[in-house]
Every structure is written in structure tokens, then in C-alpha cells.
Amino acid sequence: MDRFVSTFTNKIDAKGRVSIPAPFRAVLERDGYVGGLYCYPSLDAAALDAGGERLAKKIDGLLAGLPDYSDERDELSVALYGDVQVLSIDGDGRIVLPENLRVHANLDAAVTFVGLGDKFQMWEPKAFEERRKEARSKVQVTRKLFAAGGRSSDDDGNEGARE
Amino acid sequence: MDRFVSTFTNKIDAKGRVSIPAPFRAVLERDGYVGGLYCYPSLDAAALDAGGERLAKKIDGLLAGLPDYSDERDELSVALYGDVQVLSIDGDGRIVLPENLRVHANLDAAVTFVGLGDKFQMWEPKAFEERRKEARSKVQVTRKLFAAGGRSSDDDGNEGARE
DNA sequence: CGGGCATCTATGGGATCGCATGGGATTTGG
DNA sequence: CCAAATCCCATGCGATCCCATAGATGCCCG
């Protein structure tokens, strides 16, 4: 399925380089790697979003839905494209995070890579632990909603049975 | 029906490897095995949930219904993709359990594999024994309810008694 | 009917490979 | 000409592969 899945934590070396987890690299290549990793500050978190060609197309798709020359589109364009950086990946699968991106996510010694399907995020490890806790507790709630919503009828109905 | 059924207990060797019970392996293959076993901590038990492609699609399906870049999707993505690990199965049908997963389920010397239809769980053997006892007593109650409702004809009402 | 052979599974151990990481060398651009 | 970014190579650890053993099961053929 070639999606970014699971989390990995790698170190930032003295030169500011980080290895992209090998499984993520594999996804990027299959995604039609051209020469860069698209990377930008997450809009609502102290983290970075990154991905390959598929992600780039997705961003385009969002804008395509808005009329040209509308304020909304302009704002979104700036928000989406404005801070995007195309990071080159060296022969060993590493990238260098520019200052502004590193600041946005408070990255210093290590980076936690979090697979999110089409894209992945880069977090300061401790910050991500917090975030993860939060997400887990919310999912408990969401799960109850699914169960209550009666979505159990698809092929064998173990949807809410996770225990 | 190619479901995960019944329970098996296998040892963890010095390298942290465990054999997946052969019957489960067979199910995984028929399920369209691609490159890994999808595995994540059970949300409300000291155990691990695991499955093949079918389970992965199910997870995707949950997210597919949500709009891109919505908060809800982000939360769910983190909780679902972030905790999932794709474990590769070696030529002998074994997997290696990563540290964080082993900790979550208190696994050390052995693992009990429990078939649950679409997926299966991995428990520390003693913990599962406890769990099983508990389940049995609950089933007793459930059965009485069935009986009281006049459905006494299904001779043992074992639907949830999986053992 | 029974003995032995073939097969499959679980498990252990050795050898190899890949990945993350570090450090020097080289190039690029200002 | 200097600083910073890029490339290339070395290394150590962990993961993966491959082979060996052993117990259990089942089958075939005597």
C-alpha cells in the first residue's frame, strides 16, 4: 500500500543532518521521487509535514477547488506554498533541516518521524509523546462513536471490538 | 473463511524472535500478504493486535471517510498510523517484536496468539489466562440471557466463548 | 496392522547485510 | 579566499537471511 506507517526516531548529527527512516525512503521512491522532499511547518502544531510527489499533488488539489484570484485562495496559497521547502536527499538518505524549520518544531538533538499515510511528520521526540497521548485519549472517544453509529455490519463486525 | 482461530503459545528466543503459528501464517498469505504484519498496541488491554492486509485496509477505510487536513483526521492518523508497526516476517515465519510493543504487552519469554477472526492478539501467557477466565464467567451470564429469551435451541451458545 | 520414512513446525545459532551515524574530503557560492 | 553545503567512505550495531536440529504428525508400503 506504500504509505508512511509507524514512527521512528533518528538523531541529528553535528552538521544538522538526519537520516530519513529507510521504510519512508522506500515509499518516497515508489511515490515517484524526483529530487526532493516537500517539507513545511505544520499549520497547527510544532512539527513539520513532509512527503513526496503525491503530497505535492494533493496540495495542488486543494487549491484547485478555490476560484482564482479569491482572497481565500491567495491566503491558502501563501500558507501552503509559502513555507514549503524542497529538501534534497543525499546519497545516504539524509536531509538537512533549514534553520526556520528546525525552529518551528523545536528540533535539536533528535527527530521523531511519524507516518500519516500520504505524508509524515517530524517532531521533537518529547513533544510527540505528548501529542500521542492526546491522540490516544481522543480516539477512545471516537471509537465509541463508531460503535454507537452501528458501523459494525461490514464484513464481520469487529469494528468496535478492539480490546 | 480464512479467519484467525484458536490459540497458540510460542517462545521468544534470545534474539527476540517469535514464530507465528503456522495456521495464522496461512491466513495471512491468503489475505494477500505483501510485506508485513500490521501490529499495534491494543487500546484497552496489555496486548497487541495484529493482522494482514485486510486489517490495514480497514484502518485506511476509517480515515478515507474524513476530509484532508481536518483536525479529526489528524488525530486519528496519529493514533492509528503512528502506533502501527509493520513487522516483516522472515523466511521461517518469525517476527521480531520491537521494544515498545513488547513493553506494552509485558512480553518476555513467550507469547500467546489468540485468533479473533479478522485479526489476532498477542498476550503474555499468564495475562491471557486471567483474561480467559474472566471471559468465561461473562459468557456464562450471556448464555443465561439467551436461555431466558427462549433461544435455548443453540446447544451451547458459544459465539463469544472462543477458547 | 505396524514400522519406518517423509514432511512440517518450532526453535536455536552462525553469518551476512543494511541502516544509522560519524568524520573527513571536496565542491560551491558568496 | 573562506564558509557552508554536499559527497564519499568507515564503522558498529541491529536486523535479516540461511542452515541445522528436533519433536510431532501423517503417510506409504511392507
C-alpha cell belonging to residue B114: 489468540
Domain parsing of chain A, residue ranges: 7-123, 126-163
What pLDDT does residue A150 have? 33
What pLDDT does residue A157 have? 36
When comparing pLDDT for A2 and B10, which is higher? B10
Q: How far apart are CA A56 and CA B99, in angstroms?
A: 34
- Enter the ipTM: 0.82
Share of chain A above pLDDT 90, in %: 48
Q: Which protein residue lies nearest to nucleotide D16, measured between its Cα and the C1' atom? A: B90
Q: Give how far A158 is from chain B: nearest CA, Å.
A: 8
Nearest one of A89, A116, A105 to A40, comparing CA atoms: A105
B7-123: CATH topology is Chemotaxis protein chec (3.40.1550)
Which residue in the set A58, A116, A143 is minimally distant from B77, CB to CB? A116
What pLDDT does residue B140 have? 73
What pLDDT does residue B1 have? 60
What pLDDT does residue B126 have? 95
- The residue type of A129 is E
Q: Does pLDDT of A118 surpass 70?
A: yes
Helices B71-83 and B53-64, axial angle in degrees (round to 10):
170
- Asked if the Cβ–Cβ distance from A135 to B86 is below 8 Å, we say no
What pLDDT does residue B58 have? 85
Q: Does pLDDT of B14 surpass 90?
A: yes
Q: Which residues 2-61 of A interface with strand C at a CB distance below 7 A? A: 8, 10-11, 13-15, 18-22, 25
Which residues of A have a CB under 8 Å from any CB of B? 1, 3-7, 23, 43-44, 58, 62, 114-117, 131-132, 134-136, 138-140, 142-143, 146, 155-156, 158-159, 161-163
What pLDDT does residue A57 have? 85
Distance of CA A159 to the CA centre of its chain: 26
What pLDDT does residue A58 have? 81
What pLDDT does residue A153 have? 37
- Give per-residue pLDDT as tens, B55-95: 888 888 877 777 766 677 777 788 888 888 999 999 999 99
Contact B132, B161 (CB under 8 A): no
When comparing pLDDT for A9 and B136, which is higher? A9
